Structure 1
Amino acid sequence: MGESTEFCSQVFNAMYDESAMETYTTPSGLKRYRVPVVYASLQKHRYISSDTPEFAIHKATLQDMLWDGLSRERNAYKHKKLGFEMNAKRTDLKTRQKLKIAEGRTQIAQQELARSYRVLTVGLGAPSDYDWEFFKKFPEYPFPKPVVPEYPASPPKFQIPREPQLTDPDFLPKLETMDKLLHTRRAQKEEDARRRFEAVHTQWERLCLQARYKYQQQMETYKGTVETLRNRYQQQVMAWERGRNAYLKEREACVQIVDSKKAAYLEHEPHAVLDYFDMALSRSKYPFYFPHTFDMDYDTDNRILIVNYILPPLRALPRLARVLYDEDKKQFQELILSDRERDILYARLLHELPLRTFHELFTVDVAVSLAAIHFRGYLFLEEGKKAGKPPVCAVEIQTDRATFAASDLYHGDPAGIFAEMGGIIRSQE
């Protein structure tokens, strides 16, 4: 594989706690790194591993992208389901509209039952388009480009009040007839008027100086604020561009690592084999309420892939079968599966899920790195989970490539095929 490359560290460290990275050794003796990945809104949690911390983080990012897609599907499903349920409560709808709602809810319920209990049929109908190109998918640089700051408005230019003039009526002496005859009296009134003008003009000059000084201060503050914001923005943009360019450069380095991994997989290198099939199973689409968490190991000597898979408990699976609208009672009626019906369907699920896993993994094994697959399905018992007890092994089955190839998954009975492969379902009663 060569030297490991630290790619996308600035991005991924923001997504995952680097201190949570740990080393471990698989039962077959492979030393690997693993990091916990959590998607809170889906209540998803699993460990992602690889032979280098960098590739473990890259795989964790791919897992996060897969869960993003699952989250969008769940939201669309809930939105559609809620729409029917809200419309069902309306009192202004006609009978035919109520019947249509019941039909729509039944369709959703039937789809969920099929996705939950007939997983083999769903898996066989899914395209097998997985290869190493999947590992060359990357999220866009997750940090948004800095937004141009909102600069403050420039202060309004100060308004200079009109300059007082000697000719203004307020400063003209009010002369009477006697003032025109008596020079001293006239001169006194003219002097008083001049003094009034000078006082007002002096006050005007002081106001102008104050307004000009205040405006200059406001402009200095404004220019300083704008310059600070502009410099900060430019620094943020430069830092963002440096980070993005580094991310793109590191992304290219990651592509080279993927190519090296692919070459190693073709040579049956155990770490590359585990990385390849780990993500192959991870991208398999199951309902959002399936745990779909697992770990893997690879027996190099015998070329056996070991899959330890957490099974969905029966209590987490849907029960609604149909919705009817009673025209006489003017109310909806929900028909749920009986306990016996659920038990039968759940038994089918336990038979089909490992068969689907075999199909999905053998189908994409272009290097023929797998001679056999050993599947163990674990269940968290309700009382055991509350007590913090580990899950119990409920399903165990192993098949080799030749036996799998000879099985007719499309037309055969899943329970019969499961039995022919020597599968075991352990009772949890």
Structure 2
Amino acid sequence: MYQIEVRHEGLNKYKVIKGNNIYVVQQKAEMQKRTWNEMWKKKQLQLNQKKARELAAKEKQQKKELAAKLTTEATEQLNTIQNTLLFTLDHVDTINWEDLKDTSSFSEIEPVKKDVIEIPREPLPSDELYNPKFGIMDRLMSKKRQKKIDEINELYKLDHEKWEKQKERVLKINQKNKEVYEREIADWIEKKEQFLANQKENNDAVENLKESYIQGNPDAIVEYCDMVLSNSEYPNFFPQEFELEYNPSNNVLLVEYLLPSISNLPTLKSVKYIQSRNEFKEEHLSDTALNKIYDNLLYEITLRTIYELFEADSIDAVHSIVFNGLVRSIDKTNGNEVEAWILSVQTPKKEFEEINLEQVDPKLCFKGLKGIGSSKLHSLTPIAPIIKIERQDSRFVSSYNIADSLDESDNLAAMDWEDFEHLIRELFEKEFNETGGEVRITRASRDGGVDAVAFDPDPIRGGKIIIQAKRYTNVVGVSSVRDLYGTVQHEGATKGILVSTADFGPDSFKFAKDKPITLINGSNLLSLLHKHGYKARIDIKQAKEILANNPLREL
């Protein structure tokens, strides 16, 4: 009887093939192996097909999940944009001065001084090791005794020489460790002292800025407001560029803010995975929806910026804010970058603080504040800002420590009042003559009446224009603006222009912003004078001193 054991590890099969003929048994065993191998191949094929189906299903599921994730991200991004104003209402915008200070400790680990290696004990002749032990024969035989003494002495000599070398090595190692430590600790102390010095210098700068801000220094107020707006969190595709100017004479903060272009906004609404085509399909905002979101965003940025500045104004330095919104975009007709002021608004702090920003419609709120702008901001229709920062003419010298960089000798704020009125009449005569207009000079007077009348032939913006000049060294109050408005109505004019060497108070801007009144302050006046080739300067502080010493020249 013959038998062969056959196994298949994959199928976990085992069988004993028996028979009387070895050849037959071998053939049966081979047949069994082939059968099992075929079974194994089919099983592997089925497993591979199952894995392939599972992988395909997994990939489809992953793509579905990816589409859902992209949709969620797109929705969140759009929600962030559409809640730009509400986002800031939950945040404290006041600068915490202590947070600006560096309170960290010097992080570099102090060098560790290595332990001094002790010098091994010096061998001494009196040590028991070097005291020979003499037996009876040593005492009887002097040579033998002496030999032992010589051997002991030689041993002591060798041991002592070895000790001397060990001592020298230890002293060298200790000296080297000492020198290395002294260099390392000196370097560490120097770095620590430099760190602490820099930390103190930076913290002192923060403290000085804080004290300067509390004392109402105009530069510190501007820097503080800059920090407030810089800390405001916006999506990374927002420009967040701005310029600030603070006027301490009327507590007005002027903000010129670069708004995002409509091309910066995301348009993706959702992403779907089309299983039958194995592809993703994106859905984007329509142009109409995008324009609506964009317009609303610009109104919200405007209100949010004003809110953050007023809220952070812990010393009540800012009584009014003028916000001018600028947009940079690409002119599709020529591919060049263009800039346009598209909105402007001025609002007193008290009036703005009465607004419930959680409930307002941003556009209606902006209009309620008498903001200037096109009804469709996405059209980028340019407007004339209420007040602009004058960047090109630095001859204006204010009473809040701005140096006079030019050498003009004529101080308009201190000149004779009649000469000043005459200069203004001449200036506007040049201005209106350029467009074919006519300026008729009225008599020079100090009674607050009409100084000049301009007739502009333009069919849209033209008509009769009343011009009034005020050579003032103090902030122009709202009463002067009311008087001009009354004169405009009495004269049947289409517009009134009030020119002053000083600035206008917040109430003056508030009164004028919804009326046909243009207010030209000292900075604007210098710019206009420069346009027509006049050279002059305005130094309010100097003018007050001159007029105080010469009452006849006072108003």
Shorter-chain TM-score: which interval? 0.5 to 0.7
Within the candidate set 368, 389, 393, 2:340 is matched to 393
Report the alpha carbon displacement of residue 227 of structure 1 after superposing the two structures with TM: 3.9
Judge conservation of contact 1:99–1:324 (CA < 8 Å) in 2.
Answer: yes
Within the candidate set 81, 84, 102, 1:140 is matched to 102
Query: Normalising by structure 2, what TM-score?
Result: 0.43
Inter-partner Cα distance in structure 1 for 2:115 and 2:284: 65
The residue identity in structure 1 corresponding to 2:75 is Q
Structure with more contact order per residue of length (Cα contacts < 8 Å, sep ≥ 6): 1
2:318 corresponds to 1:377: no
Query: Superposition pairs for residues 175-186 of structure 1, below 5 Å?
Result: none
Aligned to 1:213: 168
Inter-partner Cα distance in structure 2 for 1:159 and 1:309: 82
Report the alpha carbon displacement of residue 355 of structure 1 after superposing the two structures with TM: 3.2
Judge conservation of contact 1:297–1:305 (CA < 8 Å) in 2.
Answer: yes
Identity of aligned residues (%): 20
2:84 corresponds to 1:119: yes
Aligned to 2:549: none
The residue identity in structure 2 corresponding to 1:422 is I
Aligned to 1:423: 373
Q: CA RMSD in A?
A: 5.2
Judge conservation of contact 2:295–2:378 (CA < 8 Å) in 1.
Answer: no
1:179-229 deviation digits (Å, cap 9, x = unpaired): xxxxxxx99999999988877775554433323222222222223333443
Helix, strand or coil: the match of 1:346? helix
Inter-partner Cα distance in structure 2 for 1:94 and 1:217: 70
Query: Superposition pairs for residues 4-83 of structure 1, below 5 Å?
Result: none
Higher normalized helix content (fraction of residues): 1
Inter-partner Cα distance in structure 2 for 1:232 and 1:291: 44
1:1-54 deviation digits (Å, cap 9, x = unpaired): xxxxxxxxxxxxxxxxxxxxxxxxxxxxxxxxxxxxxxxxxxxxxxxxxxxxxx
Inter-partner Cα distance in structure 2 for 1:118 and 1:156: 74
Helix, strand or coil: the match of 2:255? strand
Q: Which runs of 5+ in 2 are unaligned?
A: 1-54, 134-140, 382-555
2:258 corresponds to 1:310: yes
Q: Which runs of 5+ in 1 are unaligned?
A: 1-89, 169-185, 265-269
Inter-partner Cα distance in structure 1 for 2:199 and 2:355: 50
CA gap of 1:416–1:231, structure 2 versus 1, over 3 A, is: closer
CA gap of 1:358–1:273, structure 2 versus 1, over 3 A, is: same
Report the alpha carbon displacement of residue 108 of structure 1 after superposing the two structures with TM: 2.6
Judge conservation of contact 1:308–1:375 (CA < 8 Å) in 2.
Answer: yes
Report the alpha carbon displacement of residue 309 of structure 1 after superposing the two structures with TM: 1.1
Inter-partner Cα distance in structure 1 for 2:243 and 2:143: 109
Judge conservation of contact 2:238–2:260 (CA < 8 Å) in 1.
Answer: yes
Query: Normalising by structure 1, what TM-score?
Result: 0.53
Judge conservation of contact 1:145–1:240 (CA < 8 Å) in 2.
Answer: no
The residue identity in structure 1 corresponding to 2:324 is F
Aligned to 2:293: 345
Aligned to 2:305: 357
Helix, strand or coil: the match of 1:148? coil
Judge conservation of contact 1:396–1:423 (CA < 8 Å) in 2.
Answer: yes
Helix, strand or coil: the match of 1:318? coil
Please tell me whether Structure 1 or Structure 2 has the larger radius of gyration of its CA atoms.
Answer: 2
Aligned to 2:236: 288
2:180 corresponds to 1:225: yes
